[in-house]
Chain A
């Protein structure tokens, strides 16, 4: 149909039932072993671990509360104290008088929440649609995939913008919008992965044994088809962090203006680019490093699951 189908997609695990996943030498055991041997995966994992740690420990390690503006008396109309100018605020202060170090730390938490929540929304929606299409086939498949095609005809950032525009300017709306924009991608991946499994011998065996469609879907098809979806979810975490910043930049972020969020910090920094470039540079770097971590791990996973490289 569309050109997206011609793209090299994530290959499906071609092994048998998921029950064998516990044995060593199984598909997942093999994937794990291959991921562990990949240095890029390690870098990704370390970055993600650091990011999650900072996000979770934010209330304890951030010098100031999220919305605090301790540096207000240092604000001047024409300049903002930058990196190292005031010992109490090592990375300077922003236009509200907030401590940049604290805001970056709290921003990690905001990004983590947005990333996980929106990926969760996308994953659940996409898996329900994809599983419906993949398990039933026939007209259900046709209808679901038509809807997915329609959604895919709009670039995902634009889709997220459109959804956020009707949901209103709240942080939850942003998460739902970014998540829903990913639904078609997840649905399509899971469906094609499940279609590949449907014809396999073990599904035929299960059917011969008299198992119903629901049971086969839940305990055979789904567990064996989620591989590519997991990879995509890892990569979506990266996209979500970047997209959240973009929505914020487009004025759809919601919440309070001084809320500690990397995308918003970047947006405000635009006005102060000439006097305080570090205000743009620091959150930008944070977004990049976080996205890089998820991308590295996601791609290492994808590579480890790729049957073409597995055979070598």
Chain B
């Protein structure tokens, strides 16, 4: 097991290495080069010259790349031109917000998606099935930020049930130990602070969860439908295996493989999806930070963000692959 994980981690290296090459040339491909990325589009030629000299942008490209990569490996992603602080520091500060949001969205998507997909398949052709098929179609075709607008308009503006922006009300003067606001409240015993943070998470999490939810419902439904008609299920029934065992051990377990893959892929996409959702709800995570970076053409931040997403995406896929061998022992043999 450990060897498999080790080998998979090693295989990650060439991909990430390739990505750093792409990201390096990406900034070099900018009109005006990396200096204009630092100075903005209206930089004077003299200023560009000065920056090129100071940062070594006039050196040969391979040399520049090695220097840049060396810094990356030491955790130096450069400084944000907007906030003038190290990119990594900015990320670490904002990550808990996005992580909390993604976790709540994932809980919603999996917690509702899998049972709903299973139920729809069990009552194939029934009302719930048709509703879930139609609903999930709408879920995959609705633009996330449009859904976010609508949720905000209905539940925050019109009904006033839920807050429309931020992570926590300002009046709540909570102590933040970890940066995970929900967890902080639990740790310090300020339960009202935790509750307030959860209430703030609801609307963005629902918006973020919609697409994954729709996809998980569809995959679960399709996968269960495929398995319930399998020969071994019929054989099991003929042998007199109880319905309970058929459902849990024969159907659900075998149907879970594609579902787990999908959940993993969607979990990886949540962080990039957060760019749109966090922007609509002014939720101060890395997604909203990324959106500001796009506007400000803050390329050091964008570079770091892409790399960060790629790494987390790859790690989530790794976890998914490992989980296969627990769900399906046949995978372990190979």
Main secondary structure of the interface of A (DSSP, over half): helix
Q: Of B143-151, B173-181, B243-251, which binds chain A?
A: B143-151
Q: A236 vs B276: C-alpha distance in the bound complex, in angstroms?
A: 20
Beta-carbon nearest neighbor of A299 in chain B: B137
B271-299 residues with Cβ-Cβ distance < 8 A to A are 272-273, 275-276, 279-280, 291, 294-295, 297, 299
Q: Do B141 and A155 touch across chains, with their CB atoms under 8 A apart?
A: no
Known: A269-B149, A270-B149, A288-B141. A250 touches B306 (CB 8 A): no
Return the contact of A249 from the options B30, B138, B276, B305 (Cβ within 8 A).
Answer: B276
Q: Does B314 belong to the interface (CB within 8 Å)? A: yes
Question: Which residues on the B side are within 8 Å of A281 (C-beta)?
Answer: 150
Q: A8 vs B218: C-alpha distance in the bound complex, in angstroms?
A: 12
Return the contact of B294 from the options A161, A274, A296 (Cβ within 8 A).
Answer: A161
Shortest distance between the CB of A10 and any CB in chain B (Å): 13
Shortest distance between the CB of A180 and any CB in chain B (Å): 12
Shortest distance between the CB of B156 and any CB in chain A (Å): 10
Question: Which residues on the B side are within 8 Å of A14 (C-beta)?
Answer: none
Shortest distance between the CB of A120 and any CB in chain B (Å): 21
Q: Do A155 and B15 touch across chains, with their CB atoms under 8 A apart?
A: no
Binary flags per residue of B102-116, CB closer than 8 Å to A gives 1, else 0: 000000000000000
Q: Do B153 and A280 touch across chains, with their CB atoms under 8 A apart?
A: yes
Shortest distance between the CB of B298 and any CB in chain A (Å): 10
Binary flags per residue of A154-178, CB closer than 8 Å to B gives 1, else 0: 1101100110011010000000000
Q: A46 vs B112: C-alpha distance in the bound complex, in angstroms?
A: 32
Q: A151 vs B292: C-alpha distance in the bound complex, in angstroms?
A: 23
Beta-carbon nearest neighbor of A244 in chain B: B143
Q: Do A288 and B18 touch across chains, with their CB atoms under 8 A apart?
A: no
Q: A292 vs B305: C-alpha distance in the bound complex, in angstroms?
A: 31
Q: A144 vs B313: C-alpha distance in the bound complex, in angstroms?
A: 21
Beta-carbon nearest neighbor of A251 in chain B: B295
Q: Does B302 belong to the interface (CB within 8 Å)? A: yes
Shortest distance between the CB of B274 and any CB in chain A (Å): 11
Question: Which residues on the A side are within 8 Å of B291 (C-beta)?
Answer: 250-251
Q: A238 vs B211: C-alpha distance in the bound complex, in angstroms?
A: 14
* Total A residues in contact with B, Cβ cutoff 8 Å: 45
Question: Which residues on the A side are within 8 Å of B141 (C-beta)?
Answer: 238, 242, 288, 291-292, 295
Q: Do A273 and B157 touch across chains, with their CB atoms under 8 A apart?
A: yes
Known: A150-B19, A153-B310. A245 touches B272 (CB 8 A): no
Question: Which residues on the A side are within 8 Å of B187 (C-beta)?
Answer: none
**Residue from B146, B149, B268 having most chain A Cβ neighbours under 10 A:** B146
A114-168 residues with Cβ-Cβ distance < 8 A to B are 146-147, 149-150, 153-155, 157-158, 161-162, 165-166, 168
Q: A150 vs B143: C-alpha distance in the bound complex, in angstroms?
A: 26
Known: A249-B276, A252-B294, A296-B137. A7 touches B261 (CB 8 A): yes
Question: Which residues on the A side are within 8 Å of B258 (C-beta)?
Answer: 6-8
Q: Does B252 belong to the interface (CB within 8 Å)? A: no
Q: Does A4 belong to the interface (CB within 8 Å)? A: yes
Question: Which residues on the A side are within 8 Å of B222 (C-beta)?
Answer: 8
Q: Does A246 belong to the interface (CB within 8 Å)? A: yes
Q: A8 vs B264: C-alpha distance in the bound complex, in angstroms?
A: 15
Question: Which residues on the A side are within 8 Å of B142 (C-beta)?
Answer: 284, 288
Q: Does B69 belong to the interface (CB within 8 Å)? A: no
Q: Does B317 belong to the interface (CB within 8 Å)? A: yes
Question: Which residues on the A side are within 8 Å of B5 (C-beta)?
Answer: none
Return the contact of B26 from the options A162, A274, A280 (Cβ within 8 A).
Answer: A162
Q: Do A249 and B145 touch across chains, with their CB atoms under 8 A apart?
A: yes
Q: Does B321 belong to the interface (CB within 8 Å)? A: yes
Q: Do B14 and A146 touch across chains, with their CB atoms under 8 A apart?
A: yes
Shortest distance between the CB of A72 and any CB in chain B (Å): 25
The 7 closest A-B pairs by CB, nearest first: A284-B146, A291-B141, A150-B18, A155-B272, A153-B310, A292-B141, A158-B272
Report 5 cross-chain contacts, Cβ distance below 8 Å, ordered by A residue.
Answer: A146-B14, A150-B19, A153-B15, A270-B149, A284-B143
A-binding residues in B (CB < 8 A): 11, 14-16, 18-19, 22, 26, 29-31, 137-138, 140-146, 149-150, 152-153, 157, 222, 257-258, 261-262, 264-265, 268-269, 272-273, 275-276, 279-280, 291, 294-295, 297, 299, 302, 305-306, 309-310, 313-314, 317, 320-321, 324
Known: A245-B143, A284-B143. 5 other contacts (CB 8 A): A154-B313, A157-B273, A238-B141, A269-B149, A284-B146
